[in-house]
Amino acid sequence: MLPADLKKNLQTKIATVSHPRELVVDVLFDIQMHYGHLTDEAIHEAAELCGMAPVEVEELATFYTFTFREPVGKYVIHVCDSVVCWMNGYQTIREYLCSKLNINMGETTPDGLFTLIPVCCIGYCDRSPAILVNRKVHGSLTPAKLDQLIEKIKMENPAHVE
């Protein structure tokens, strides 16, 4: 169940627009932030908030890149695999991440901290190869930079078990 204050917030936001469904992506993002991913319950809650049928929300949740219908780690790493990153060392970055986290693309680390997902060009080709960590960009990557990044996150989440 959504916490009352989040629900209230969303309702207030929705009340300001003329078509509640125009906010469905925002609502999904906010609910996703709360649950970690979009659970079945989340789909129904979003539908109710936006005055839509659950399947209409499901149609969107399964369409978009940044809505997760399956559990993901606390940190979702989107690795850009489009052409500029591809020519500038995407493969190295990907392999490095996979071996460092010991998971394949599309998987989540057992401690629930990281999920690796390939993603299309994220618009930082000038700083390729680039990745997103929870939608925040990190560019011009090298294995050393990745080490720093991962270690920093691990340090910030010392006792992360799920």
- Give the residues lining the site for another protein (CB under 8 A): 19, 21-26, 28-29, 40, 43, 50, 52-56, 58-60, 62-67, 81-84, 86-88, 120-128, 132, 135-137
Query: Which string of x and - marks every residue 70-109 that binds ligand FES (by CB under 6 A)?
Result: ----------x-xxxx------------------------
Q: What is the rounded CA–CA span in Å between residue 162 and residue 156?
A: 15
Select from 47, 128, 141, 150 the one that contacts ligand FES (CB under 6 A): 128
Q: Which residues pair with 115 in a beta bridge?
A: 76, 108
46 scored as a contact of ligand FES (CB under 6 A)? no
CA 140 to each of CA 66, 109, 125, 128: distance values in angstroms, whole numbers, following the listed order: 23, 24, 9, 5
121 scored as a contact of ligand FES (CB under 6 A)? yes
130 scored as a contact of ligand FES (CB under 6 A)? yes
Nearer to another protein among residue 95 and residue 147 (C-beta): 95
Least distance (Å) from ligand FES to the CB of residue 123? 6
Torsion of CA 153, 156, 158, 162, to 10 degrees: -70
Q: At what angle do helices 40-50 and 54-61 cross, to 10 degrees?
A: 120
Least distance (Å) from another protein to the CB of residue 108? 19
Strand 114-119 and strand 75-80: the pairing is: parallel
Taking CB under 6 A as the binding criterion, the range among 4-12, 29-37, 103-111, 123-131 that sits at the site for ligand FES is 123-131
133 scored as a contact of ligand FES (CB under 6 A)? no
CA 161 to each of CA 74, 121, 144: distance values in angstroms, whole numbers, following the listed order: 10, 32, 26
Pull the structure tokens for residue 71: 């559990």
132 scored as a contact of ligand FES (CB under 6 A)? no
